[in-house]
Structure 1
Amino acid sequence: MAGGWAKEGAEQEQIERTLDDAVELARSRLPQGESRKYCEECDEVIPEARRMAVPGVRLCVVCQNEHDKKQSNASSYNRRGSKDSQLR
């Protein structure tokens, strides 16, 4: 239900662009190249199963979890775009 100056279906187009951007960002963050045998952060051995499952892996599971927590805290933003959610 577009209104005002927006054309019909504009909301869906915006949702699709937002999703496309999120997928592109996630793909750009995927590791590339040869997997490391030792974690870049703590020098622990990265198990072969992890290296096979995640090509280009650079961190052990523990360090990757910490890295992901830091990333998710830094990238939180208002998804709803309403004044209600901005005030919370």
Structure 2
Amino acid sequence: MAVGWAKDGAVQEQIDASVADAVTEARSQLNLCKNMGDSLSHCEECEALIPEARRYAVPGVRLCINCQAEQERYGQRAGIINRRASKDSQLR
């Protein structure tokens, strides 16, 4: 049921687009990991030592745990923005 300027099925289209964006982002992260090469012994951001267990568990690791967590937190904040907002949601 559409209201205002939204067409029928607009909500489902928005949900589908959000899921497609998340899948694309996840696939791009997988491709990055495959092409990273050897793990670094020290973090490329803060120069902290990356433990051997982490280098073994995550092939191609380039960041320490703290820097990786900060990068993921930033990515999650950017992902909560609704870029496909309809006119209805902007007017409310």
Provide the TM-score with structure 1 as the length reference.
0.62
Q: Percent identity?
A: 47
The verdict on how the C-alpha distance between 1:58 and 1:75 changes in structure 2, with shifts beyond 3 A counting, is same
Greater shift in the superposed pair: 15-24 or 66-75? 15-24
Q: Which residue of 2 aligns with 1:68?
A: 72
Greater shift in the superposed pair: 24-33 or 46-55? 24-33
- Which has more helix, going by share of residues? 2
Cα root mean square deviation, aligned: 3.4
Unaligned runs of 5+ in 2: 1-6
Structure 1 segments of 4+ aligned residues over 3 angstroms from their partners: 13-21
Q: Which has the higher contact order (CA 8 A, sep 6+)?
A: 2
3-state SS of paired residue (2:24): helix
Q: 1:34 aligns with which of 38, 47, 64?
A: 38
Provide the TM-score with structure 2 as the length reference.
0.60
Alignment of 1:49-88 (within 5 A): 49-78=53-82, 83=89
